[in-house]
């Protein structure tokens, strides 16, 4: 009986290992310019974006920059560490370490993720200009999901006074299940009204963030920004209720 149990355990372990290897291979692929998808064991890139694709352990296929739409490898440990820094609100360290990681993996499917973390760090520190510069550079490289830069794109549209486009996007974001996105949308709507010169309406949007969301974790940043902007506008308009907003915790 013990021998049979050991055999079953070995078989299960082999199945699990096979599933892990299969998952890793699923995450390693190239999509060529003609949309052909090629699975790979390993992909490396040189400084100019030329790839060496290890297809089956023996065959290595070269692909020059411009001949493929996307190359993707499993998430590198450096990217995981960068995400942990961001989740810990260590934005200065993200900004400091992201460029080297970006250069290493920008041709291997992680340009959008790395640059988005850097952009969000700049936005959290109140530096939208720097975030926009990072985005403009990142969009030159192959990526799966440029929607990771949604906040930066909205800020750029707002700067161009594309008010209708911004408003349509914000209507969707406000209904998002992710509270941090919804809070950002309310704050962005406040900025939209400010850009239109509608300061009273802007105050109301900022106050929605202050009242609807708790000041914890990622929401604390959005709530603090909303409160700061609401108070500044209320003081500018000599609103006698500003002291009540300043007193909110």
Q: What is the DSSP letter of 231?
A: H
Tokens of 80: 């995981």
**C-alpha gyration radius of the chain:** 24
Confidence band of 16 (pLDDT split at 50, 70, 90): very low
Phi, psi values for residue 109, rounded to 5°:
95, 0
Distances (CA, A) of 45 to 42, 62, 137, 209, 227: 10, 10, 18, 44, 46
**Any idea which architecture 2-72 has in CATH?**
Roll (2.30)
How far, in whole angstroms, is CA 33 from its chain's centroid? 26
Residue showing tokens 């974006």: 49
The mean pLDDT value for 189-199 works out to: 95
- Chain segment 133-176, per-residue pLDDT in tens: 999 999 999 988 777 898 899 988 998 999 999 999 999 999 98
124: pLDDT strictly greater than 90: no
Prediction pTM value: 0.74
CB 71 within 8 A of CB 45: yes
For residue 10, the model assigns a pLDDT of 45
pLDDT at 15 > cutoff 60: no
Angle between helices 111-124 and 128-138 (to 10 degrees): 170
**Banded pLDDT at 132 (limits 50, 70, 90):** very high
Q: What whole-number distance in Å separates Cα of residue 150 and Cα of residue 146?
A: 8
Helix segments in 106-198, DSSP class H: 111-124, 128-138, 150-159, 163-174, 179-195
CA–CA dist 228, 70 (Å, integer):
42
CB 210 within 8 A of CB 230: yes
Q: Domain locations in the chain?
A: 2-72, 77-153, 161-246
Whether pLDDT at 200 is above 80: yes
What CA–CA distance (Å, rounded) separates 213 from 207? Answer: 10
């Amino acid at each position: 009986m013990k021998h049979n149990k050991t055999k079953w355990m070995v078989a299960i372990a082999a199945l699990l290992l096979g599933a892990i290897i299969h998952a890793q291979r699923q995450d390693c692929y190239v999509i060529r310019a003609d949309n052909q998808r090629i699975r790979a064991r390993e992909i490396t890139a040189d400084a100019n974006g030329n790839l060496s694709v290890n297809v089956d352990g023996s065959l290595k296929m070269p692909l020059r920059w411009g001949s493929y739409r996307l190359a993707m490898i499993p998430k590198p440990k450096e990217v995981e560490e960068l995400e942990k820094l961001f989740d810990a609100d260590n934005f200065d360290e993200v900004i400091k370490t992201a460029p080297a990681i970006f250069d290493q993996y920008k041709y291997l499917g992680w340009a959008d993720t790395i640059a988005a973390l850097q952009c969000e760090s700049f936005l959290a520190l109140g530096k939208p200009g720097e975030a926009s510069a990072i985005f403009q550079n990142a969009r030159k490289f192959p990526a799966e999901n440029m929607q990771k830069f949604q906040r930066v794109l909205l800020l750029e549209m707002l700067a161009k006074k594309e008010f209708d486009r911004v408003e349509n996007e914000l209507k969707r974001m406000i209904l998002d299940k992710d509270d941090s996105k919804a809070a950002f949308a309310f704050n962005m709507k406040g900025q939209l009204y400010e850009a239109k010169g509608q300061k009273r309406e802007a105050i109301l949007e900022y106050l929605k963030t202050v009242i609807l969301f708790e000041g914890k974790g990622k929401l604390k940043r959005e709530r603090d920004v909303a409160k700061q902007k609401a108070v500044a506008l209320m003081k500018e308009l000599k609103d006698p209720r500003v002291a009540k907003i300043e007193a909110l915790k």
